[in-house]
Structure 1
Amino acid sequence: MSGILEEAYQRFHATGPEFDGALSNHGPMAVEAMVRHGHEREVHAWIDWYGARLDEPPRGLNPVTGENWREALGDRKRAMDWIAYMQREVRLRPWRDLLAEWWPRLLPGIVGGATHGVIRVGHCVRALLAEEPSQEISAGPRLEEFAHALGYWAALAKPLEVATPPRSGDAAAASALAAVPSVANQSISIGYRMSQLGETPGWSAAFEALRTPGTPEQAADLLAAVADAAVRDYLRRGQGNPVMLVHASTAPNAVLRTLPALPKRLWIPSLDAAWLATAAVTAAYRNTEAPAADVAAAIAQTGNAQETFDRAVRHRDEHAVKFADAALDSFERTADKEALAAATRATLMIQAAA
């Protein structure tokens, strides 16, 4: 099955990064997860199904350069300009160097586009790191996907218009996440929901509560704990919005996957940005706690890790696949079966809403 991921990337690079106006193309992310978990044989059939809804790449508007990039940052209409820029750059220098340069520029806008930019980068970096031990990467679909992912994030990267004071708390990840309040009006777009954060009682205190790590290694451990807490939180609170709330865990997990490719000086800022993404998405979409019977039913229907991922693939939904992938990462770190049950519940709820 060698080359399946490369073939999949090539097919998706003939489509646009978004479709139906502003929906993110999840294809490259989902197929990377499918290949990683042994579903290579289903990839092309899945692309046939998913790709039918995608659009052709839009035209570029004005080339991004080393001089004008600041004015183009966060302009999703310039997505193809950004992708073309990253395609040029990745041919000129090692991908890790390009990542290290752009990562701190893009982190402040991690929530832009509902975090899809950083998630796509995280999936691609995992694919690049998986290939590195066996061969030197100089060209090919994986590098092309890196350019598409990084360029797409640059087009989405808009900082939240809410004050984020330095954290001063000492709370563990699960406790800090549990304290995040919900915005008052959970309707309309993610932008409207997040515009309420600054006026939401308890938001600042909850955001500041997460402890501050003293070393890059501590930041990595705390980031993993944030991703794990968000997965488990979904089990009981995911019904607020079964699709959108998956990003509270997939975003920090994407950052965590990227850390090994980044200089350690960027690990603590990466935690800070990922925590903001998790807390903001949680505040925007988390709702009341699910009935205990629903949680128990999800736990009862959950098998082992492979069975959990297989269920998501059978359902086909891209969010179910990506969340199951993140949940399996969490289960591997913690051996907590609630992580797998959260993936089961996500698949069931997304399937019911389809």
Structure 2
Amino acid sequence: MVRMLPKSRVLAFLALGVGCVLLGAGLLLPRLVDAERPLPLDLSQTSLSVTDPAATIGKAFLAGAAEDDPDTITGPVSRNLSVSVGAPVDEDATAVTVGVSTLRDDMAESLGDQAALLEAEVWSMRVDRNDGSVAGDVKVADTLGTPAGDAEIDGQWLAFPRDTAQETYQFFDRLLRRSLPADFDRVEEIDGREVYVFRQTLSAEPVLTANPRYAWLTQTVTTPAETDDEGVETAPATSTVSTLHRSGTREITVEPTSGMIVSVREDTRDYYAAADGAETGLLLDLHGETSEEERDALLDQAVEVGEDRPVSMWSLALTVIGAIVTVAAGFVALRPQRRQ
């Protein structure tokens, strides 16, 4: 005759199995789940703007400017960077599209963005969701009616690494198409939150080096012929071709836990220079920064992204509960049965 186990002992064996599962899950959780959150795919804040209410705009950027028009005008200009995060390419990287545009804000209000557009580019790339670096091939469409061309991004651009350090990083400049050092400058506090400010210095950097396709790369200055009082030419007309250069500074404000950029200040001068370095004309003189409203929204998002998953807490809770259930159930299940 087969003796049946009492119901209490059957339940104890089931509880013993559950306890072992909980104990194993608690011990393995830190190895299976990374506490650091990767870049989310559904960011609510995906754009950053730098606005100068009184930028100096050169004639090369003024469509339809006549010969006798002034060489420069003053007006509000904003440079906008908009990020679209696509589907993950693999466990670590995701596809990203970045639109960069420079607008005359006064014309945008009255005539629309299309009429106010000074320049625009669309970048396509893969971004590492853990450290913000660009991984894989990069394409950029910068000329209307032509296919996107190849490009390289060898430093930080859209974000800094998580747990950003107080050190120098290579930061990408879109116009120069190369990265230059951005040195840690200082710690600031915004609404009780600590942020790091990095400073990048640009000194007569030539655009021609890595961006030879730029639409406003060169400027030709023609000097008319000289004549004497009788109209006889004493010196022929000359033409000087100058190329675009960039000088100035850029300050990048970063929320260090997430590595996300929350604000940028640019004091840059894009000008034409002859072979001897002498300035011959201006494209754009910009002294702008991200608005406080946009900065605060980006900072709130960065703080949320920077929060680690509570892996340690859940691991400890599962391990403790699993151990208690296993010991208690094991005691009940394995104790000797009393004879009837």
Higher relative CO (Cα under 8 Å, sequence separation at least 6) belongs to 2
Question: Structures share a fold, TM > 0.5?
Answer: no
Going by fraction, where is strand more abundant, 1 or 2? Answer: 2
- TM-score, reference length from structure 1: 0.21
User: What is the TM-score when the length of structure 2 is the normalising length?
Assistant: 0.21
Q: Which has the larger radius of gyration?
A: 2
